[in-house]
Structure 1
């Protein structure tokens, strides 16, 4: 670790106690942690988090308000995004995942690089307001990642992959779902129910496909895993931010 990361960890220990970030430190030990076979491609697996691929969106008091407000706003969100797809297509861009870039996977970002994307407020004001009020202002969103509208064009396939870690969790609001769409996590295939949320741990291998005849649209939000603590979150932000800075400088 860099001196900056070490200093940040020391500050967290001083405020919250010497054992407050023990799980983060164990995650970084040589050899890593034991993990499920379908998590092997993830970079980091923090010990002590439930190794559960699919989660009940309403099971966690911290996340339930996000789920409830997004589902309540579904009709307005769908109307706004349908209009934007027709009249403001330039606001969408090819999605750049850390592994790939896909032309048939279009994205509109509402939150990125640790901040709300102000331009998206005029495009989808309902989603922007809900996101700000119940995820950003409450610090439930993981600032290391993002929130975006994810539109898969007909025939698009997101190949099986693991995301980088298990200490954040992915929430999907099903905005506009044609027949023939599916998502598979750790070998379990599900379909989106329009107006409802799905919640899953994307450190497990997952894939998605649109075999329908029109675009599939979801709103994706990267939230802190509800079993992580405040000191752990501070340490993880310092860790990942420091590593990203090193990679940019290198």
Structure 2
């Protein structure tokens, strides 16, 4: 049974790695979060009611139409937040999901995270949070800013239970400001929206002199079967919700983010070791993974 489980895991991990045209280096993919989630993600793709493609037609999600129709109201609240300097990077190690993005200029203001609106969002963005509350399939939402010269390097999100929706609010209207999903580019425009599968490798860049602000949403992946939808909601509620990050005091902080500061100190030491003694770093890294696999699958 152990070897059957191992074979299923390796097969699913290989599928995740080979899926699409753009791939991570094998050494990076082995320890990427998406590898550990591979069996569950393959199940999500198999049960998906919408195509498991890079981009998905926004028309597949008619419940999102009010966001496009009222995009100018949403933009007004985003501009007010920017003027108040509330769309910002985290000043603490309490955003495990997006921590690496802050180093390259990306900023955010959470509107909700797999629950009701943050208190700060309900106070500062009442119209947007009320609109989001009326669309249950939107599980998480934020205003995301990509200032001039900023970039997000190649990455993939770990869990396939949602799809990513972007609505342009303040955009350069220039093809040099874009997101690239599995090698296919999309350039944001004011009032226009796009839906894509964030478990494909993607990257973003703003090579213009103008700012870019979007409404960024995680939308529940529609499922063919009730049991698959129930499983997806269970994982989101019990695990993804634990990555909640606050905008300010009084907002909820999930369990993963409460533990992230301690984990980050260990990670920083590991990164220093990789820079100074790369061979030792990779020997220890893959040695630990091998020891873990041996402990699980050795016929004791």
Aligned partners of 1:96 and 1:102 also within 8 Å? no
1:31 aligns with 2:10: yes
Alignment partner, residue 102 of structure 1: 102
| Structure richer in helix, relative to its length | 2
What SS does structure 1 have at the residue aligned with 2:138? coil
- Structure 1 gaps of 5+ residues are 1-25
Aligned partners of 2:116 and 2:133 also within 8 Å? no
1:120 aligns with 2:121: yes
What SS does structure 2 have at the residue aligned with 1:175? strand
Normalised by the size of structure 2, how large is the TM-score? 0.62
What CA distance in whole angstroms lies between the structure 2 residues aligned with 1:116 and 1:32? 39
Q: CA deviation at 1:208?
A: 0.7
Q: CA deviation at 1:153?
A: 1.2
Alpha-carbon deviations, 1:4-39, whole Å to 9, x = none?
xxxxxxxxxxxxxxxxxxxxxx9x953353341447
Alignment partner, residue 23 of structure 1: none
- Structure 2 gaps of 5+ residues are 243-254, 264-300
Q: CA deviation at 1:81?
A: 1.4
Alignment partner, residue 65 of structure 1: 63
Residue of structure 2 aligned with 1:200, choices 175, 196, 200: 196
What CA distance in whole angstroms lies between the structure 2 residues aligned with 1:222 and 1:39? 23
What SS does structure 2 have at the residue aligned with 1:93? coil
| Structure richer in strand, relative to its length | 1
Alignment partner, residue 146 of structure 2: 152
Superposed CA RMSD in Å reads 2.9
Q: CA deviation at 1:172?
A: 0.6
What CA distance in whole angstroms lies between the structure 2 residues aligned with 1:226 and 1:202? 15
Give runs of ≥4 in structure 1 deviating > 6 Å. 244-250
Alignment partner, residue 161 of structure 1: 155
| Bigger-Rg structure (1/2) | 2
1:222 aligns with 2:218: yes
Aligned partners of 2:87 and 2:145 also within 8 Å? no
Normalised by the size of structure 1, how large is the TM-score? 0.73
Alignment partner, residue 130 of structure 1: 131
**Does 1 or 2 have the higher relative contact order (CA < 8 Å, sep 6+)?**
1
